[in-house]
Chains A and B, each alone.
Chain A
Amino acid sequence: MTDTMILDRLNAVKPAEERGAPLLEISHLRKEYDGVPALRDISLRIDKQEVVVVLGPSGCGKSTLLRCMNGLERIQAGEILLDGGVLTTEKTDWRLIRQKIGMVFQSYELFPHMTVLENILLGPLKVQKRKRKEAETAARVLLERVGLYEKRTAFPRQLSGGQKQRAAIIRALVMEPEIMLFDEITAALDPEMVREVLDVMLELARSRMTMVIVTHEMQFAKAAADRIVFMDEGEVVEDSPPGDFFVKPKTERARRFLNIFQF
Protein backbone atom coordinates (compact mmCIF):
# COMPACT_ATOMS: atom_id res chain seq x y z
CA MET A 1 0.00 0.00 0.00
CA THR A 2 1.37 3.41 -0.89
CA ASP A 3 1.64 6.30 1.50
CA THR A 4 -1.05 8.28 -0.27
CA MET A 5 -3.48 5.40 -0.09
CA ILE A 6 -2.96 5.10 3.65
CA LEU A 7 -3.30 8.83 3.97
CA ASP A 8 -6.54 8.83 2.01
CA ARG A 9 -7.95 6.01 4.08
CA LEU A 10 -7.11 7.68 7.38
CA ASN A 11 -8.25 11.14 6.40
CA ALA A 12 -11.35 10.03 4.57
CA VAL A 13 -14.66 11.33 5.74
CA LYS A 14 -16.86 8.28 5.78
CA PRO A 15 -19.62 8.15 3.14
CA ALA A 16 -22.88 9.57 4.36
CA GLU A 17 -25.04 6.68 3.17
CA GLU A 18 -23.72 4.49 5.98
CA ARG A 19 -25.30 6.83 8.40
CA GLY A 20 -28.19 5.60 10.50
CA ALA A 21 -27.45 1.88 10.42
CA PRO A 22 -27.08 0.50 13.95
CA LEU A 23 -23.50 -0.24 14.95
CA LEU A 24 -23.71 -1.00 18.65
CA GLU A 25 -26.89 -2.20 20.29
CA ILE A 26 -27.34 -2.81 23.98
CA SER A 27 -30.46 -4.42 25.32
CA HIS A 28 -31.51 -4.91 28.93
CA LEU A 29 -27.97 -4.81 30.21
CA ARG A 30 -27.56 -5.44 33.92
CA LYS A 31 -24.33 -5.13 35.85
CA GLU A 32 -23.77 -5.71 39.56
CA TYR A 33 -20.80 -5.33 41.83
CA ASP A 34 -21.16 -7.92 44.62
CA GLY A 35 -24.93 -7.82 44.38
CA VAL A 36 -25.14 -4.03 44.24
CA PRO A 37 -26.59 -2.98 40.89
CA ALA A 38 -24.44 -0.50 38.95
CA LEU A 39 -26.45 -0.70 35.74
CA ARG A 40 -30.09 -1.70 36.14
CA ASP A 41 -31.66 -2.19 32.74
CA ILE A 42 -29.85 -0.34 29.99
CA SER A 43 -31.02 -0.39 26.40
CA LEU A 44 -29.21 1.83 23.97
CA ARG A 45 -28.56 1.95 20.27
CA ILE A 46 -25.61 3.70 18.69
CA ASP A 47 -25.74 4.21 14.96
CA LYS A 48 -22.87 4.40 12.55
CA GLN A 49 -21.20 7.83 12.49
CA GLU A 50 -23.17 8.98 15.46
CA VAL A 51 -21.61 10.93 18.33
CA VAL A 52 -23.31 10.07 21.61
CA VAL A 53 -22.39 11.96 24.75
CA VAL A 54 -23.24 10.28 28.05
CA LEU A 55 -23.87 12.66 30.93
CA GLY A 56 -24.81 12.10 34.54
CA PRO A 57 -23.74 12.63 38.13
CA SER A 58 -20.71 10.71 39.33
CA GLY A 59 -21.49 7.17 40.31
CA CYS A 60 -24.44 6.98 37.88
CA GLY A 61 -22.81 4.11 35.98
CA LYS A 62 -21.67 5.90 32.85
CA SER A 63 -18.08 4.71 33.07
CA THR A 64 -19.26 1.21 33.91
CA LEU A 65 -21.45 1.24 30.82
CA LEU A 66 -18.47 2.13 28.65
CA ARG A 67 -16.35 -0.57 30.21
CA CYS A 68 -19.07 -3.14 29.56
CA MET A 69 -19.10 -2.17 25.88
CA ASN A 70 -15.43 -3.12 25.70
CA GLY A 71 -15.68 -6.34 27.70
CA LEU A 72 -13.63 -4.99 30.60
CA GLU A 73 -16.55 -5.83 32.91
CA ARG A 74 -18.59 -9.01 33.08
CA ILE A 75 -22.29 -8.37 32.82
CA GLN A 76 -25.02 -10.21 34.68
CA ALA A 77 -27.80 -9.96 32.13
CA GLY A 78 -28.60 -8.48 28.76
CA GLU A 79 -27.01 -8.43 25.36
CA ILE A 80 -24.53 -6.31 23.45
CA LEU A 81 -24.40 -6.46 19.65
CA LEU A 82 -21.72 -5.00 17.43
CA ASP A 83 -22.60 -4.85 13.75
CA GLY A 84 -25.38 -7.35 14.43
CA GLY A 85 -23.09 -9.91 16.07
CA VAL A 86 -23.70 -10.82 19.71
CA LEU A 87 -20.71 -9.96 21.91
CA THR A 88 -21.96 -11.36 25.16
CA THR A 89 -21.69 -15.09 24.56
CA GLU A 90 -19.17 -17.31 26.30
CA LYS A 91 -17.29 -17.74 23.05
CA THR A 92 -16.80 -14.04 22.37
CA ASP A 93 -13.21 -13.37 21.38
CA TRP A 94 -12.75 -9.98 23.00
CA ARG A 95 -9.31 -9.66 21.46
CA LEU A 96 -10.93 -9.39 18.02
CA ILE A 97 -13.74 -7.15 19.22
CA ARG A 98 -11.40 -4.76 20.98
CA GLN A 99 -9.62 -4.07 17.72
CA LYS A 100 -12.92 -2.72 16.44
CA ILE A 101 -13.68 -0.78 19.62
CA GLY A 102 -11.08 1.81 20.59
CA MET A 103 -11.04 3.07 24.14
CA VAL A 104 -9.31 5.98 25.88
CA PHE A 105 -9.33 6.26 29.67
CA GLN A 106 -9.34 9.10 32.16
CA SER A 107 -5.95 8.47 33.68
CA TYR A 108 -2.97 8.66 31.41
CA GLU A 109 -2.48 5.07 30.49
CA LEU A 110 0.34 5.18 27.98
CA PHE A 111 2.96 2.53 28.71
CA PRO A 112 5.67 4.51 30.52
CA HIS A 113 8.61 2.37 29.34
CA MET A 114 7.86 2.96 25.66
CA THR A 115 8.20 6.04 23.49
CA VAL A 116 5.10 7.62 22.00
CA LEU A 117 5.71 5.85 18.69
CA GLU A 118 6.33 2.47 20.36
CA ASN A 119 3.10 2.91 22.31
CA ILE A 120 1.21 3.59 19.12
CA LEU A 121 2.78 0.76 17.12
CA LEU A 122 2.30 -1.95 19.76
CA GLY A 123 -1.27 -2.72 18.72
CA PRO A 124 -0.81 -2.64 14.94
CA LEU A 125 2.40 -4.71 15.02
CA LYS A 126 1.70 -7.24 17.74
CA VAL A 127 -2.08 -7.58 17.73
CA GLN A 128 -2.94 -6.91 14.11
CA LYS A 129 0.39 -8.17 12.72
CA ARG A 130 0.59 -5.33 10.24
CA LYS A 131 3.76 -4.49 8.34
CA ARG A 132 6.03 -2.09 10.21
CA LYS A 133 6.38 0.31 7.31
CA GLU A 134 2.67 0.60 6.76
CA ALA A 135 1.93 0.96 10.47
CA GLU A 136 4.61 3.64 10.84
CA THR A 137 3.13 5.62 8.00
CA ALA A 138 -0.31 5.40 9.55
CA ALA A 139 1.13 6.49 12.90
CA ARG A 140 2.91 9.42 11.27
CA VAL A 141 -0.22 10.62 9.51
CA LEU A 142 -2.22 10.49 12.73
CA LEU A 143 0.51 12.08 14.85
CA GLU A 144 0.81 14.94 12.40
CA ARG A 145 -2.93 15.38 12.52
CA VAL A 146 -2.82 16.05 16.28
CA GLY A 147 0.50 17.92 16.16
CA LEU A 148 2.56 15.34 18.00
CA TYR A 149 4.87 14.06 15.30
CA GLU A 150 7.88 15.86 16.82
CA LYS A 151 7.20 14.07 20.09
CA ARG A 152 7.24 10.56 18.63
CA THR A 153 10.53 9.60 20.32
CA ALA A 154 9.60 11.16 23.67
CA PHE A 155 8.66 9.06 26.66
CA PRO A 156 5.27 9.67 28.28
CA ARG A 157 6.81 11.32 31.36
CA GLN A 158 8.27 14.00 29.07
CA LEU A 159 4.81 14.97 27.82
CA SER A 160 2.15 17.23 29.28
CA GLY A 161 -1.17 15.71 30.29
CA GLY A 162 -2.83 16.99 27.14
CA GLN A 163 -0.13 15.56 24.93
CA LYS A 164 -0.39 12.22 26.69
CA GLN A 165 -4.12 12.05 26.07
CA ARG A 166 -3.71 12.99 22.42
CA ALA A 167 -1.13 10.23 22.06
CA ALA A 168 -3.52 7.81 23.78
CA ILE A 169 -6.23 8.76 21.28
CA ILE A 170 -3.85 8.06 18.41
CA ARG A 171 -2.89 4.73 19.94
CA ALA A 172 -6.55 3.71 19.78
CA LEU A 173 -7.19 5.30 16.36
CA VAL A 174 -4.28 3.61 14.61
CA MET A 175 -6.07 0.28 15.04
CA GLU A 176 -8.76 1.71 12.73
CA PRO A 177 -11.65 0.97 15.08
CA GLU A 178 -15.28 1.18 14.06
CA ILE A 179 -16.22 2.97 17.23
CA MET A 180 -14.32 4.96 19.85
CA LEU A 181 -15.15 5.09 23.55
CA PHE A 182 -13.90 8.02 25.63
CA ASP A 183 -14.09 7.73 29.41
CA GLU A 184 -13.79 11.23 30.92
CA ILE A 185 -10.50 11.73 29.16
CA THR A 186 -10.18 15.40 30.14
CA ALA A 187 -11.19 14.97 33.77
CA ALA A 188 -7.63 14.69 35.10
CA LEU A 189 -6.22 17.49 32.96
CA ASP A 190 -5.26 21.02 33.89
CA PRO A 191 -7.83 23.46 32.49
CA GLU A 192 -5.52 24.92 29.85
CA MET A 193 -4.93 21.47 28.40
CA VAL A 194 -8.54 20.41 28.18
CA ARG A 195 -9.11 22.39 25.02
CA GLU A 196 -6.41 20.76 22.90
CA VAL A 197 -7.84 17.31 23.68
CA LEU A 198 -11.44 18.37 23.06
CA ASP A 199 -10.38 19.84 19.72
CA VAL A 200 -9.02 16.48 18.63
CA MET A 201 -12.31 14.82 19.59
CA LEU A 202 -14.29 17.49 17.81
CA GLU A 203 -12.27 16.95 14.67
CA LEU A 204 -12.89 13.21 14.93
CA ALA A 205 -16.60 13.86 15.28
CA ARG A 206 -16.51 15.93 12.09
CA SER A 207 -14.79 13.11 10.21
CA ARG A 208 -17.84 11.04 11.21
CA MET A 209 -16.11 8.62 13.54
CA THR A 210 -18.68 6.81 15.64
CA MET A 211 -18.07 7.84 19.23
CA VAL A 212 -19.43 7.36 22.73
CA ILE A 213 -18.13 10.07 25.03
CA VAL A 214 -18.45 10.27 28.79
CA THR A 215 -17.63 13.80 29.87
CA HIS A 216 -18.40 16.64 32.23
CA GLU A 217 -17.64 19.33 29.64
CA MET A 218 -21.10 20.68 28.93
CA GLN A 219 -20.08 23.15 26.24
CA PHE A 220 -18.24 20.42 24.43
CA ALA A 221 -21.22 18.08 24.72
CA LYS A 222 -23.42 20.74 23.13
CA ALA A 223 -20.97 21.26 20.29
CA ALA A 224 -20.06 17.67 19.50
CA ALA A 225 -23.06 15.49 20.32
CA ASP A 226 -25.69 14.21 17.95
CA ARG A 227 -27.45 12.77 20.96
CA ILE A 228 -27.25 13.16 24.70
CA VAL A 229 -27.84 10.17 26.92
CA PHE A 230 -28.48 11.21 30.51
CA MET A 231 -27.96 8.56 33.16
CA ASP A 232 -28.75 8.47 36.85
CA GLU A 233 -28.55 5.62 39.36
CA GLY A 234 -27.71 3.02 36.76
CA GLU A 235 -30.52 3.89 34.36
CA VAL A 236 -30.89 5.84 31.15
CA VAL A 237 -33.18 8.66 32.22
CA GLU A 238 -33.20 10.72 29.06
CA ASP A 239 -32.09 10.19 25.48
CA SER A 240 -32.54 13.23 23.29
CA PRO A 241 -30.81 15.61 20.84
CA PRO A 242 -28.60 18.20 22.59
CA GLY A 243 -30.87 21.04 21.51
CA ASP A 244 -33.75 19.52 23.45
CA PHE A 245 -31.76 18.25 26.39
CA PHE A 246 -30.00 21.47 27.27
CA VAL A 247 -32.94 23.75 26.56
CA LYS A 248 -35.90 21.87 27.96
CA PRO A 249 -34.95 18.62 29.72
CA LYS A 250 -37.89 16.27 30.11
CA THR A 251 -37.19 15.04 33.62
CA GLU A 252 -36.71 16.64 36.99
CA ARG A 253 -33.49 14.68 37.54
CA ALA A 254 -31.94 16.06 34.36
CA ARG A 255 -33.00 19.59 35.32
CA ARG A 256 -31.38 19.23 38.71
CA PHE A 257 -28.21 17.87 37.13
CA LEU A 258 -27.98 20.73 34.64
CA ASN A 259 -28.54 23.29 37.38
CA ILE A 260 -25.28 22.21 39.01
CA PHE A 261 -23.46 23.77 36.09
CA GLN A 262 -25.27 27.11 36.34
CA PHE A 263 -23.98 29.99 38.39
Chain B
Amino acid sequence: MRDLGIRVLIEGVNLQRLLLGLAVTARIAFIAVAFSMVLGVPFGILMTRRNAALRFLCRFYLEAMRIIPVLVWLFIFYFGLARNFHINLSAAAAAVLVFTLWGTAEMGDIVRGAVTSLHRHQYESAHALGLSEVQLYLYVIIPQAARRLVPGAINLTTRMIKTTSLVVLIGIVEMLKVGQQIIESNFLKSPTAAFWVYGLIFFLYFILCMPVSRLSKRLERRWQS
Protein backbone atom coordinates (compact mmCIF):
# COMPACT_ATOMS: atom_id res chain seq x y z
CA MET B 1 0.00 0.00 0.00
CA ARG B 2 1.21 3.48 -0.70
CA ASP B 3 2.40 5.29 2.38
CA LEU B 4 -0.09 7.71 3.83
CA GLY B 5 1.73 10.57 5.51
CA ILE B 6 -0.93 10.69 8.18
CA ARG B 7 0.71 7.71 9.86
CA VAL B 8 3.50 10.02 10.96
CA LEU B 9 1.15 11.57 13.43
CA ILE B 10 0.55 8.38 15.38
CA GLU B 11 3.99 6.88 15.05
CA GLY B 12 6.15 6.65 18.16
CA VAL B 13 5.77 9.63 20.47
CA ASN B 14 5.14 12.13 17.69
CA LEU B 15 1.65 13.08 18.78
CA GLN B 16 2.75 13.35 22.38
CA ARG B 17 5.63 15.59 21.36
CA LEU B 18 3.34 17.85 19.37
CA LEU B 19 0.98 18.16 22.30
CA LEU B 20 3.87 18.98 24.61
CA GLY B 21 4.85 21.66 22.10
CA LEU B 22 1.30 22.94 22.27
CA ALA B 23 1.63 23.16 26.04
CA VAL B 24 4.79 25.25 25.69
CA THR B 25 3.04 27.59 23.27
CA ALA B 26 -0.05 27.82 25.45
CA ARG B 27 1.89 28.45 28.62
CA ILE B 28 3.91 31.34 27.26
CA ALA B 29 0.88 32.83 25.53
CA PHE B 30 -1.56 32.63 28.40
CA ILE B 31 0.83 33.84 31.11
CA ALA B 32 1.75 36.82 28.92
CA VAL B 33 -1.89 37.49 28.00
CA ALA B 34 -2.98 37.38 31.65
CA PHE B 35 -0.27 39.85 32.69
CA SER B 36 -1.03 42.09 29.70
CA MET B 37 -4.76 42.26 30.43
CA VAL B 38 -4.13 43.18 34.06
CA LEU B 39 -1.30 45.65 33.45
CA GLY B 40 -2.91 47.10 30.34
CA VAL B 41 -5.80 48.58 32.34
CA PRO B 42 -3.72 50.94 34.52
CA PHE B 43 -1.47 51.69 31.55
CA GLY B 44 -4.46 52.61 29.41
CA ILE B 45 -5.84 54.84 32.15
CA LEU B 46 -2.48 56.57 32.48
CA MET B 47 -2.63 57.29 28.75
CA THR B 48 -5.87 59.22 29.21
CA ARG B 49 -4.44 61.56 31.86
CA ARG B 50 -3.86 65.16 30.94
CA ASN B 51 -0.26 65.40 32.18
CA ALA B 52 1.79 66.07 29.04
CA ALA B 53 5.03 64.45 30.20
CA LEU B 54 3.19 61.33 31.30
CA ARG B 55 1.33 61.14 28.01
CA PHE B 56 4.57 61.49 26.06
CA LEU B 57 6.21 58.67 28.04
CA CYS B 58 3.22 56.36 27.50
CA ARG B 59 3.13 57.19 23.82
CA PHE B 60 6.86 56.60 23.49
CA TYR B 61 6.57 53.19 25.11
CA LEU B 62 3.62 52.18 22.95
CA GLU B 63 5.27 53.26 19.73
CA ALA B 64 8.56 51.58 20.68
CA MET B 65 6.69 48.31 21.20
CA ARG B 66 4.84 48.71 17.93
CA ILE B 67 7.62 49.89 15.66
CA ILE B 68 10.34 47.48 16.78
CA PRO B 69 9.40 43.92 15.75
CA VAL B 70 8.67 41.45 18.52
CA LEU B 71 11.47 39.26 17.21
CA VAL B 72 13.98 42.06 17.79
CA TRP B 73 12.68 42.51 21.33
CA LEU B 74 13.14 38.80 21.93
CA PHE B 75 16.77 39.04 20.78
CA ILE B 76 17.35 42.13 22.91
CA PHE B 77 16.02 40.49 26.05
CA TYR B 78 17.54 37.06 25.49
CA PHE B 79 20.92 37.76 23.87
CA GLY B 80 21.31 41.48 24.46
CA LEU B 81 20.81 41.49 28.20
CA ALA B 82 23.02 38.47 28.69
CA ARG B 83 25.89 39.88 26.63
CA ASN B 84 25.86 43.47 27.83
CA PHE B 85 24.56 43.31 31.36
CA HIS B 86 25.16 39.67 32.24
CA ILE B 87 21.51 39.19 33.03
CA ASN B 88 20.85 35.64 31.99
CA LEU B 89 17.15 35.12 31.56
CA SER B 90 15.92 31.71 30.59
CA ALA B 91 14.45 31.66 27.11
CA ALA B 92 10.94 31.13 28.50
CA ALA B 93 11.30 34.02 30.95
CA ALA B 94 12.55 36.31 28.20
CA ALA B 95 9.64 35.26 26.00
CA VAL B 96 7.03 35.87 28.70
CA LEU B 97 8.62 39.22 29.53
CA VAL B 98 8.69 40.44 25.92
CA PHE B 99 5.17 39.27 25.18
CA THR B 100 3.93 40.91 28.37
CA LEU B 101 5.62 44.21 27.52
CA TRP B 102 4.16 44.14 24.02
CA GLY B 103 0.72 42.98 25.16
CA THR B 104 0.55 45.62 27.89
CA ALA B 105 1.29 48.35 25.37
CA GLU B 106 -1.35 47.12 22.92
CA MET B 107 -3.90 46.41 25.65
CA GLY B 108 -3.26 49.86 27.08
CA ASP B 109 -4.12 51.43 23.74
CA ILE B 110 -7.34 49.40 23.59
CA VAL B 111 -8.24 50.47 27.14
CA ARG B 112 -7.42 54.09 26.28
CA GLY B 113 -9.79 53.96 23.32
CA ALA B 114 -12.58 52.44 25.38
CA VAL B 115 -12.16 54.90 28.25
CA THR B 116 -12.08 58.00 26.05
CA SER B 117 -15.19 56.82 24.20
CA LEU B 118 -17.22 57.23 27.40
CA HIS B 119 -19.11 60.48 27.75
CA ARG B 120 -17.71 63.32 29.83
CA HIS B 121 -20.97 63.37 31.79
CA GLN B 122 -20.18 60.00 33.31
CA TYR B 123 -17.14 61.53 35.00
CA GLU B 124 -19.02 64.64 36.06
CA SER B 125 -21.96 62.89 37.60
CA ALA B 126 -19.62 60.52 39.43
CA HIS B 127 -17.69 63.50 40.76
CA ALA B 128 -20.92 65.24 41.69
CA LEU B 129 -21.81 62.25 43.85
CA GLY B 130 -18.54 62.68 45.71
CA LEU B 131 -16.82 59.56 44.39
CA SER B 132 -13.03 59.60 44.73
CA GLU B 133 -10.82 59.19 41.66
CA VAL B 134 -10.23 55.50 42.47
CA GLN B 135 -13.95 54.84 43.06
CA LEU B 136 -14.78 56.69 39.85
CA TYR B 137 -12.65 54.27 37.83
CA LEU B 138 -13.57 51.18 39.86
CA TYR B 139 -17.34 51.54 39.79
CA VAL B 140 -18.11 53.74 36.81
CA ILE B 141 -15.42 53.93 34.16
CA ILE B 142 -13.79 50.48 34.08
CA PRO B 143 -17.05 48.45 34.11
CA GLN B 144 -18.34 50.46 31.18
CA ALA B 145 -15.04 50.46 29.32
CA ALA B 146 -14.78 46.67 29.79
CA ARG B 147 -17.83 46.16 27.62
CA ARG B 148 -16.31 48.18 24.83
CA LEU B 149 -12.84 46.68 24.86
CA VAL B 150 -13.80 42.99 24.60
CA PRO B 151 -13.50 42.72 20.80
CA GLY B 152 -10.10 44.43 20.77
CA ALA B 153 -8.80 42.41 23.71
CA ILE B 154 -9.85 39.11 22.10
CA ASN B 155 -8.20 40.11 18.86
CA LEU B 156 -5.01 40.91 20.75
CA THR B 157 -5.12 37.57 22.59
CA THR B 158 -5.30 35.52 19.41
CA ARG B 159 -2.58 37.65 17.86
CA MET B 160 -0.33 36.98 20.84
CA ILE B 161 -1.00 33.24 20.72
CA LYS B 162 -0.03 33.11 17.09
CA THR B 163 3.04 35.30 17.50
CA THR B 164 4.49 32.92 20.09
CA SER B 165 5.75 30.87 17.12
CA LEU B 166 8.67 33.36 17.06
CA VAL B 167 10.12 32.05 20.31
CA VAL B 168 11.73 29.18 18.46
CA LEU B 169 14.34 31.72 17.38
CA ILE B 170 15.58 32.09 20.95
CA GLY B 171 15.76 28.32 21.27
CA ILE B 172 12.39 27.39 22.70
CA VAL B 173 11.03 24.21 21.18
CA GLU B 174 7.34 24.89 20.87
CA MET B 175 4.64 23.31 18.76
CA LEU B 176 5.76 24.60 15.37
CA LYS B 177 9.40 23.61 15.97
CA VAL B 178 8.37 20.12 17.08
CA GLY B 179 6.37 19.83 13.89
CA GLN B 180 9.35 20.79 11.76
CA GLN B 181 11.54 18.26 13.53
CA ILE B 182 9.02 15.51 12.88
CA ILE B 183 8.74 16.47 9.23
CA GLU B 184 12.51 16.52 8.78
CA SER B 185 13.15 13.19 10.43
CA ASN B 186 10.47 11.53 8.30
CA PHE B 187 11.33 13.30 5.11
CA LEU B 188 12.54 10.25 3.18
CA LYS B 189 10.08 7.77 4.61
CA SER B 190 6.93 9.78 4.10
CA PRO B 191 7.31 12.86 1.92
CA THR B 192 3.70 14.00 2.51
CA ALA B 193 4.19 14.27 6.29
CA ALA B 194 4.44 18.05 6.05
CA PHE B 195 0.82 18.29 4.96
CA TRP B 196 -0.46 16.25 7.89
CA VAL B 197 1.80 17.73 10.53
CA TYR B 198 1.05 21.31 9.56
CA GLY B 199 -2.60 20.36 9.22
CA LEU B 200 -2.65 19.16 12.80
CA ILE B 201 -0.80 22.27 13.98
CA PHE B 202 -3.37 24.41 12.22
CA PHE B 203 -6.06 22.49 14.06
CA LEU B 204 -4.28 22.83 17.42
CA TYR B 205 -3.90 26.61 17.03
CA PHE B 206 -7.57 26.69 16.21
CA ILE B 207 -8.39 24.78 19.40
CA LEU B 208 -6.29 27.28 21.35
CA CYS B 209 -7.94 30.37 19.90
CA MET B 210 -11.51 29.23 19.47
CA PRO B 211 -12.54 29.19 23.15
CA VAL B 212 -11.27 32.75 23.44
CA SER B 213 -13.43 34.04 20.62
CA ARG B 214 -16.39 32.00 21.86
CA LEU B 215 -15.97 33.66 25.24
CA SER B 216 -15.98 37.09 23.63
CA LYS B 217 -19.16 36.34 21.71
CA ARG B 218 -20.86 35.25 24.91
CA LEU B 219 -19.73 38.31 26.83
CA GLU B 220 -20.88 40.62 24.07
CA ARG B 221 -24.26 38.96 23.94
CA ARG B 222 -24.69 39.06 27.70
CA TRP B 223 -23.85 42.74 27.95
CA GLN B 224 -26.05 43.61 25.02
CA SER B 225 -29.28 42.38 26.59
Residues of chain A having any CB pair with chain B under 8 Å: 70, 72, 94-96, 98-99, 102-103, 105, 107, 109-113, 122-123, 126-128, 168, 171-172, 175
Within 8 A of A (CB), among B116-140: 119, 121-122, 124-132, 135, 139-140
Q: Are A98 and B121 in contact (CB under 8 A)?
A: no
Interchain CB contact (< 8 A) of B129 among A96, A98, A107: A98
Q: In whole angstroms, what is the CA distance A96 to B131 when docked?
A: 10
Q: A96-B130, A123-B129 are in contact. Are A105 and B144 (CB under 8 A)?
A: no
Q: Are B140 and A111 in contact (CB under 8 A)?
A: yes
Residues on B with C-beta less than 8 A from A126 are: 131, 135, 139
Q: Are A113 and B143 in contact (CB under 8 A)?
A: yes
Q: Give A124's nearest chain B residue, CB to CB.
A: B129
Q: Are A175 and B124 in contact (CB under 8 A)?
A: no
Q: Give B146's nearest chain A residue, CB to CB.
A: A113
Q: Are A105 and B130 in contact (CB under 8 A)?
A: no
Q: In whole angstroms, what is the CA distance A60 to B128 when docked?
A: 22
Check if B147 is an interface residue, CB within 8 A of chain A: yes
Residues on B with C-beta less than 8 A from A127 are: 129-132, 135
Residues on B with C-beta less than 8 A from A95 are: 130-132
Within 8 A of A (CB), among B124-175: 124-132, 135, 139-140, 143-144, 147
Q: In whole angstroms, what is the CA distance A107 to B139 when docked?
A: 20
Q: Are A113 and B147 in contact (CB under 8 A)?
A: yes
Question: Can you list 21 residue pairs at the A/B interface with Cβ under 8 Å?
Answer: A70-B128, A72-B124, A72-B127, A72-B128, A95-B131, A99-B130, A103-B128, A105-B124, A107-B121, A109-B122, A110-B125, A111-B122, A111-B126, A111-B139, A113-B144, A122-B139, A127-B130, A127-B131, A168-B125, A175-B129, A175-B130
B223–chain A nearest beta-carbon distance, Å: 8
Q: Give A123's nearest chain B residue, CB to CB.
A: B129
Q: A98-B128, A99-B130, A123-B130 are in contact. Are A111 and B135 (CB under 8 A)?
A: no
B14–chain A nearest beta-carbon distance, Å: 50
Q: Give B133's nearest chain A residue, CB to CB.
A: A95
Residues on A with C-beta less than 8 A from B129 are: 98, 122-123, 127, 171-172, 175
Residues on B with C-beta less than 8 A from A110 are: 125
Q: In whole angstroms, what is the CA distance A175 to B143 when docked?
A: 23
Q: Are B130 and A109 in contact (CB under 8 A)?
A: no
Q: Are B124 and A111 in contact (CB under 8 A)?
A: no
Residues on B with C-beta less than 8 A from A168 are: 125
- Known contacts A109-B122, A122-B129; 12 additional CB pairs below 8 A are A72-B127, A98-B129, A98-B130, A105-B124, A109-B124, A109-B125, A111-B125, A111-B140, A122-B139, A123-B131, A126-B135, A172-B129
